[in-house]
Structure 1
Amino acid sequence: MPTTRRLPVVVAIKINEDSFTPRQQVVLTAALDLLVENGDGLTMTGVARRASCSKETLYKWFGDRDGLLTATVQWQAAKVRMPQVNRTGLNVSSLRASVEQFARDLLAVLTGEISVTLNRTAVTHAAQEKDSLGTIVLENGPLAIRRRLKPILEAGRDARLLRFENSEEAFRTFFGLVVRDVQIRLLLGDKTLKQTDIEADAKQATDHFFALYGYSATQ
């Protein structure tokens, strides 16, 4: 009888840069650098050597290679900063500024060499059913980022600044407006965006999102 492949259970825990100590950040940066350089070739030994620490320390901090990969993806995703809003005095201007900042961070991270390499490697692994990297990237990358923005959108709805019935649908619309076809083009070898392009695209996506979901636009 054919066997059913069981996906590993991957739990997202740390999605804030401050959750990692400075020494752990050095290790995760080394792991990201090695992923860019070697793709599939990330090993605990290689990371320990690059970060000038022992493998025992890596196992103590991250458990195993999958744990290290998970923390590495979380460290990369944490560069998309959590929008800061004051729910008590939330207004259109502050909400738009927070959403636009999130869009800039998202584009900057997704279009960087590290994320492109991570995504390319994860897609290849998922297609080959090679290991858990695809699941790790999905859970701790896009799904974790979604969990960070949805409460902000819901706060805008509660303050009657945005109007939508389903925050998941609103997030997907926002993500589509920000990312468009950029990610797939980069995965296929297109050049990365310039900072001026990122800023312009983030503003345009925010303008379009508020035109669709802004409270005054839907009355």
Structure 2
Amino acid sequence: MREESRAKRHRQIEEAAYRVLKRQGYGGASMLAVAKEAKASNETLYRWYGDKRGLFKMMVEGNAKATTAALEAAIGRGADPLSTLEQIAPVLLSMLLGERAIALNRAAASDESGELGATIASSGRESVFPLMETLIQNGLQLGVLAAPSAPMATEWFLSLLIGDQQIRRAVRAMALPSEKEIRSRAATTMGAFRKLCAV
């Protein structure tokens, strides 16, 4: 299978997995159920993803990919930390409040095994947050940011940006925000973060 066709098939399978997840929850989202939904063979799913946890791990990583890629690129080229945070903020907020992240979080909340929650933590939060801490640490070392520590400044930034919005989305107390609302929240966050930490 050509790389382009394989990537397209991966997307189709993952979209099918999201549909199964919404209908049946994580416990009911078996590899066979996903294979049937995607009109794929069960063998293909096991060959490509290993098992159910592997499939959902790839889905979580795929959801966070734009944010992690932008952070890695900015760190690699030594980009200005504040400018990078300004660019990252709406991307990260859109991802965290988007339908896919919310579907995963709703399913994780009802998953008594804790497996999906652990997958989200290791493949989402634990891949994005260290990169953000590295970016902010660079800012502290360059003297363009001031804070007690990079982890604390990262927590401040994320609290300002996200607050309780993801929880409110997960419990259906908040609608999906528009792009304008996302950008407004990101701009407000950056204004507050600059007052807190910019030198």
TM-score (norm 2): 0.84
Q: Give the match for residue 7 of structure 1.
A: none
Secondary structure of 1:141's match?
A: helix
Paired with 2:108 and 2:135, the residues of 1 have a C-alpha distance of 29
Paired with 2:180 and 2:91, the residues of 1 have a C-alpha distance of 13
Deviation string for 1:115-160 (max 9, x for gaps)? 11211111222xx3x3511111122222222122222112222222
Say whether 1:157 aligns with 2:140: yes
Q: Give the match for residue 26 of structure 1.
A: 12
1:39–1:118 Cα contact (<8 Å) kept: no
Secondary structure of 1:80's match?
A: helix
2:60–2:123 Cα contact (<8 Å) kept: yes
Q: Give the match for residue 211 of structure 1.
A: 195
Say whether 1:146 aligns with 2:129: yes
Greater share of helix residues, 1 or 2?
A: 2
Paired with 1:62 and 1:87, the residues of 2 have a C-alpha distance of 29
TM-score (norm 1): 0.77
For structure 1, list consecutive stretches of 5 or more residues without a partner in the other structure: 1-19
Q: Give the match for residue 136 of structure 1.
A: 119
Deviation string for 1:182-203 (max 9, x for gaps)? 1121122121211111000011
Secondary structure of 2:74's match?
A: coil
1:164–1:213 Cα contact (<8 Å) kept: yes
Q: 1:144 and 1:86, CA in 2 relative to 1: closer, same or farther beyond 3 A?
A: closer
Q: Which amino acid aligns with 1:78?
A: K
Which of 29, 32, 38 pairs up with 1:45? 32
Paired with 2:168 and 2:180, the residues of 1 have a C-alpha distance of 18
**Structure 1, 186-195 or 30-39: larger mean CA deviation:** 30-39
Which of 84, 91, 116 pairs up with 1:98? 84
Paired with 1:123 and 1:64, the residues of 2 have a C-alpha distance of 21
Say whether 1:66 aligns with 2:53: yes
Q: 1:87 and 1:115, CA in 2 relative to 1: closer, same or farther beyond 3 A?
A: closer
For structure 2, list consecutive stretches of 5 or more residues without a partner in the other structure: 1-5
Task: Tell me by how many angstroms 1:88 deviates.
Answer: 6.5
Q: 1:120 and 1:88, CA in 2 relative to 1: closer, same or farther beyond 3 A?
A: closer
Q: 1:131 and 1:157, CA in 2 relative to 1: closer, same or farther beyond 3 A?
A: closer
Secondary structure of 1:178's match?
A: helix
2:93–2:162 Cα contact (<8 Å) kept: yes
Task: Tell me by how many angstroms 1:32 deviates.
Answer: 2.5
Deviation string for 1:173-217 (max 9, x for gaps)? 1110000121121122121211111000011111211211112xx
Q: Percent identity?
A: 27
CA RMSD in angstroms, aligned pairs only: 2.2
